[in-house]
Structure 1
Amino acid sequence: MESKATTNQNMQQKAAVFSAIALLIMTFAAFFSQGYVHSSLVIEGDAATTLKNIQASQVLFRLEVLGWLLIIIMDLIASWGFYVFLKPFHPAYALFAGWLRFLYTAILATAVTNLVITNSVVQNSELGTSSRVAQQAMDSITAFEAIWSFGLIIFGLHLIAVGLVAMNTKKIPKVISILVIIAGFSYSIIHFMYNFVPQIENVIGLLELILMAPMVIGELGFGIWLLVKGRKVTMD
Structure 2
Amino acid sequence: MKSKRTTNQNVQQKAAVFSGVALLVMTIAASFAYGYVHSSLVIDGDAATTFENIQASQPLFRLEVLGWLIIVITDLIVSWGFYVFLKPYHQSYALLAGGLRFLYAAILAIAVSHLVITNNLVQNSSDRVAQQAMDSIIAFEAIWSFGLIIFGLHLITVGLIAIGTKKIPKVISLLVVIAGFSYSLLHFMYNFIPQIENFTGLLELILMAPMVIGELGFGIWLFVKGRKVKMD
Could you state the TM-score of these two structures normalised by the residue count of structure 1?
0.98
| Deviation of the 1:224 alpha carbon | 0.3
Q: 1:205 matched to which residue of 2? A: 201
Q: Distance in 1 between matches of 2:127 and 2:190?
A: 27
- 2:130 — aligned with what? 134
Aligned letter for 2:210? Answer: P
Residue in 2 that maps onto 1:27: 27
Give the AA of the match of 1:166: A
Q: Which residue does 1:182 correspond to in 2?
A: 178
- Distance in 2 (CA, whole Å) between partners of 1:37 and 1:169 is 39
Measured after TM superposition, the shift of residue 87 of structure 1 is 0.2
Q: Which residue of 2 aligns with 1:159?
A: 155
Deviation at 1:235, TM superposition (A): 1.0
Secondary structure at the counterpart of residue 122 of structure 2: helix
| Residue of structure 2 in register with 1:62 after alignment | 62
Q: C-alpha distance in 2, partners of 1:18/1:91?
A: 19
Distance 1:228 1:51 in 2: 43
Q: How far apart are residue 15 of structure 1 and its match?
A: 0.2
Q: Supply the distance in 2 between the matched residues of 1:198 and 1:114 (Cα, whole angstroms).
A: 22
Matched, 1:222 2:218: yes
- Cα deviation for residue 3 of structure 1 reads 0.4
CA shift digits 1:35-85 (9 cap, x unpaired): 000000000000000000000000000000000000000000000000000
- TM-score relative to the length of structure 2: 0.99
Q: Which residue of 1 aligns with 2:38?
A: 38
**Displacement of 1:14:** 0.2
Q: Provide the identity percentage.
A: 80
SS at match of 1:89: coil
> What corresponds to 2:13 in structure 1?
13
C-alpha RMSD over aligned residues: 0.4
Alignment of 1:119-130 (within 5 A): 119-123=119-123, 125=124, 128=125, 130=126
Unaligned 5+ runs, structure 1: none
Looking at structure 1, the residues matched to 154 and 97 of structure 2 have their Cα atoms a distance apart, in angstroms, of 5
Name the aligned partner's letter for residue 167 of structure 1: I
Corresponding position: 1:111 with 2:111: yes
Deviation at 1:131, TM superposition (A): 1.7
How far apart in 1 are the matches of 2:56 and 2:127? 17
Task: State the one-letter code of the partner of 1:70.
Answer: I
The 2-side partners of 1:71 and 1:134 are apart by 27
- Which residue type is aligned with residue 127 of structure 2? S
Counterpart residue number, 1:149: 145
Read off the aligned partner of 2:132 and give its amino acid letter.
Answer: Q
